[in-house]
Amino acid sequence: MTVDFSTLLAITAMAAVTVLTRLSGLVLVWHVSLEGSRRKAIESIPPAVLMAVVAPTAFATGIAETIACAVTAIAALRLPMLVSVALGVFCVALLRATGI
């Protein structure tokens, strides 16, 4: 197997841009006060991203996946993101195992 220099350069550049983007977000947050509506807006980003990922699954697949997506969405309102996702995965696995 040979390594193409332009491909390696493109991958390295994309990795660098990704790291810089993530680090710049952390650096900017240190210099911004997060109070009131700003804090609420920042805290609403993870559930919004989760719903953007989950919604197409709810509409394009079977009933088990749709129910699991609804469970995940409801859980995301009160539980931490990781717990909500784990609950959704467990729910779809249980529903598939029961034949729904």
Give yes or no for a contact between 88 and 75, defined as CB atoms under 8 angstroms apart: yes
Angle at alpha carbon of residue 37, lines to 34 and 38, rounded to 5°: 35
Helices (H) and strands (E) in the chain, counts: 5, 0
Mind listing the pLDDT tens digit for each residue in 19-61? 999 888 888 877 777 788 878 887 788 878 878 887 887 788 8
From the centroid of its chain, how far is CA 57? 13
CA 18, CA 62: separation in Å to the nearest integer?
35
Domain spans in the chain, listed from the N-terminal domain onward: 1-32, 45-99
Please state the pTM of the whole predicted model.
Answer: 0.57
- Confidence check: pLDDT of 1 > 80: no
- What CA–CA distance (Å, rounded) separates 16 from 70? 37
Please write the tens of the pLDDT for every residue from 50-67. 788 878 877 888 888 889
Res 17: pLDDT: 95
